[in-house]
């Protein structure tokens, strides 16, 4: 089997222990991954802390940091086929998606490379005539970046890119479910020429995560994952008072009005819930459709779902591959069973094929008679769509906001005034109008409520890895008149 290593303080090394990683398409082990102990994590954080102050990193200009990121972007683009193949093998994500996504990841590093020397301070028009005051933006310090297995190279880029552009150092923890592409990515970091300790990449279970987030030298924790794990992270970071940015899950509404371009909306809904086998935090998992077009919309959607090509994730013709783990499939099957018991009706799918691997078909549940079914309220992280109908705009808004999550949403309508009303009314960090699942390094990404806080992407993310320093310069040559009076 293939073997992978951690990358700590500029060196590749085996973990204190190891574990087998399963190929989701076959359910069989294919590689041995290193497992970081608390001691391994501590060494990585201390290496990052030393590197943060070392001349070969702290002494670089912002422009020089940007050039390193440009080099990393080029290496990612060159290695995209290899990285895509590894991500497909280790996570089951289809090759047509990993190939396209990883090629685009290079653009994220290029965006932050160009932004590195554009993170500016400010001069303040202070109210004291004998003072000059300005603000400096400085890096916060050591960043703990924790990413899940799905879209891991993308989710790493939106943390590493801005953190490195700002001048921070990073300990990146890959998910123990499918860490191969990030451990391979470490070789590109090494080739790019970053000083030892600037970027450290490891993987491991709960012990590694807890040690990392609670470490006294960590200044910022950037996490993508589920709300329950986020709660543990917030508790663990209480001791070191680390800043946190949390990009969590969602139960995103996909709203279709009667005047929508139905063909376009159907295609967007298919992409929004069945792409990536539904294993996406922004999956449009709640279809809210106007009652007058409900039946026609569901009929088209059912036909599309039944025609989806399910198969080996390394086949470019495959449209839906396996789920990442058997545990995930079993959870989805359990929630579907509970939802059917609660009154939901199965439109299509719902049963795993009798084959090896962790496959599950595109599934649609009509929840008209079961608006509180578990499939409506719980994030399933799989290719399962729950459908509700509405009659009025106000009802659509109420249904859209009837969730503790607030990450993404989609609205399909030709009525521009209505679109603007929906933009204002929907409580979500992202609102897509007549499109869905579009991203860019230029646009911030994130939510609120159980979907977390903070933003990834855009200038806002880079600023999030900085802290403000106020500098006061007294310009008068006169003696300070009274040392007991605040100036």
Q: What is the DSSP string of 388-451?
A: EEESSHHHHHHHHT-SS--S--EEE-S-HHHHHHHHHH--SS--EES--S---TTS-B--SGGG
Q: How confident is the model at residue 482 (pLDDT cuts 50, 70, 90)?
A: confident
Q: Is the pLDDT of residue 483 over 90?
A: no
Neighbour tally for 457: CB within 10 Å: 22
Q: What is the mean pLDDT of residues 274-288?
A: 96
Residues 16-45 have a mean pLDDT of 95
Query: If we measure between CA atoms, which residue out of 137, 221, 187 comes closest to residue 5?
Result: 187
Asked whether residue 16 carries a pLDDT value surpassing 90, the answer given is no
Per-residue pLDDT, averaged over 93-122, amounts to 96
239/256 Cα distance (integer angstroms): 46
Give yes or no for residue 91 having a pLDDT over 80.
Answer: yes
Could you list the active site residues? 247, 281
Which tens digits make up the pLDDT trace of 362-418? 999 999 999 999 999 999 999 999 999 999 999 999 999 999 999 999 999 999 999
- Residue ranges and CATH numbers for the domains of the chain are 2-247+457-471 (3.40.605.10), 253-433 (3.40.309.10)
Dist CA 56 CA 261 (whole Å) = 56
Q: What pLDDT sits at residue 160? A: 98
Kindly tell me if the per-residue pLDDT of 487 is higher than 80. Answer: no
For residue 300, is pLDDT > 80?
Answer: yes
Rounded mean pLDDT of 318-328? Answer: 94
pLDDT of residue 25: 94
Distance from CA of residue 115 to its chain's centroid? 20
pLDDT at 238: 87
Tokens representing 341? Answer: 């018991």
Digit-coded pLDDT (tens) for 158-179: 999 999 999 999 999 999 999 9
Average pLDDT of span 91-106 = 95
User: Per-residue pLDDT for 201 more than 80?
Assistant: yes
Strand, helix or coil at 196?
coil
Residue 382 near residue 251, CB atoms below 8 Å = no
Exposed, middle or buried: residue 438 (CB in 10 Å: 0-12, 13-18, 19+)? Answer: exposed
Residue 111 has pLDDT above 90, yes or no: yes
- Quick one: pLDDT at residue 486? 75
**pLDDT band at 270, cuts 50/70/90?**
very high
Alpha-carbon distance 327 to 206, whole Å? Answer: 17
């Amino acid at each position: 089997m293939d073997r992978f290593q951690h990358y700590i303080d500029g060196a590749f090394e085996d973990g204190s222990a190891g574990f087998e990683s399963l190929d989701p398409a076959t359910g069989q082990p294919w590689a041995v991954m290193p497992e970081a102990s608390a001691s391994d994590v501590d060494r990585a954080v201390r290496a990052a802390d030393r590197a943060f102050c070392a001349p070969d990193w702290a002494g670089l200009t912002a422009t020089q940091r940007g050039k390193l990121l440009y080099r990393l972007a080029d290496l990612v683009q060159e290695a995209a086929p290899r990285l895509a193949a590894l991500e497909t093998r280790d996570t089951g994500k289809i090759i047509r998606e990993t190939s396209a996504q990883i090629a685009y990841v290079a653009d994220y590093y290029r965006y932050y490379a160009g932004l590195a020397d554009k993170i500016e301070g400010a001069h303040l028009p202070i109210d004291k005539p004998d003072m000059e005051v300005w603000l400096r933006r400085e890096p916060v310090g050591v960043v703990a970046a924790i990413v899940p297995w799905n879209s891991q190279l993308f989710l790493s880029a939106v943390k590493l890119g801005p953190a490195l552009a700002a001048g921070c150092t990073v300990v990146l923890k890959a998910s123990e479910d499918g860490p191969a592409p990030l451990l391979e990515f470490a070789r590109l970091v090494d080739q790019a020429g970053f000083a030892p300790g600037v970027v450290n990449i490891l993987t491991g279970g709960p012990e590694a995560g807890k040690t990392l987030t609670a470490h006294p030298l960590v200044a910022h924790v950037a996490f993508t994952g589920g709300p329950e794990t986020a709660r543990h992270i917030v508790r663990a970071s209480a001791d070191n008072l680390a800043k946190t940015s949390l990009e969590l899950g969602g139960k995103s509404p996909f709203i279709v009005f009667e005047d929508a371009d139905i063909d376009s909306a159907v295609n967007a809904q298919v992409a929004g819930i069945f792409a990536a086998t539904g294993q996406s935090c922004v999956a449009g998992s709640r279809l809210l459709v106007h009652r007058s077009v409900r039946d026609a919309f569901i009929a088209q959607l059912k036909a599309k779902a039944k025609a989806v090509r399910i198969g080996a994730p390394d086949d470019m013709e495959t449209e839906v591959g396996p789920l990442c783990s058997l545990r995930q499939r079993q959870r989805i099957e359990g929630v579907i069973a509970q939802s059917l018991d609660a009154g939901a009706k199965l439109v299509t799918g719902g049963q795993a094929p009798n084959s090896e691997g962790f496959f599950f078909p595109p599934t649609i549940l009509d929840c008209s008679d079961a608006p509180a079914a578990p499939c409506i309220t719980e994030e399933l992280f799989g290719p399962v769509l729950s459908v509700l109908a509405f009659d009025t705009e106000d009802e659509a808004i109420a249904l859209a906001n009837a969730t503790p999550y607030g990450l993404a949403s989609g609205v399909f309508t030709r009525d521009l005034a209505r679109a603007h009303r929906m933009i204002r009314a929907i409580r979500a960090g992202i609102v897509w109008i007549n499109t869905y699942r579009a991203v860019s390094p230029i646009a911030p990404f994130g939510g609120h409520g159980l979907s977390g806080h903070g933003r990834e992407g855009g200038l806002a993310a880079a600023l999030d890895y900085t802290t403000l320093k106020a500098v006061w310069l007294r310009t008068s040559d006169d003696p300070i008149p009274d040392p007991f009076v605040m100036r």
